[in-house]
Amino acid sequence: MRNAGAIVVTGSIGSVAAVPGNVAAVRAVFADVVPIGRMGEACAVARPVLFLARSDASFVNGVDLYVDGGCVERG
């Protein structure tokens, strides 16, 4: 079975983690799923997107850029 991808902290995940007693448990589960050992933040995805949108990336083409904490490598 192929991995669905990395876990990124969004409002919905934050809401689940905000339930009293769930914060540590939710973070621990997601840390086990992502090879880098932590949940991703939205800015971790936004920064590479912003880079690709800038002229600094004008010579970048035809590449798959995985911003997933290593999930693709795990397979």
Question: pLDDT of 6-35, one tens digit each?
Answer: 455 555 555 555 566 677 777 787 778 888
pLDDT at 71: 81
pLDDT at 2: 45
Residue-wise pLDDT tens digits, 44-56:
889 999 999 999 9
Residue 35: partners with Cβ closer than 8 Å, 6 or more residues away: 69, 70, 71, 73, 74
Domain annotation covers residue 42:
yes
Domain annotation covers residue 3:
no
Residue ranges making up the domain that contains 55:
8-74
Count of structural domains, the chain: 1
Euclidean distance between CA atoms 16 and 25, whole angstroms: 10
Domain annotation covers residue 2:
no
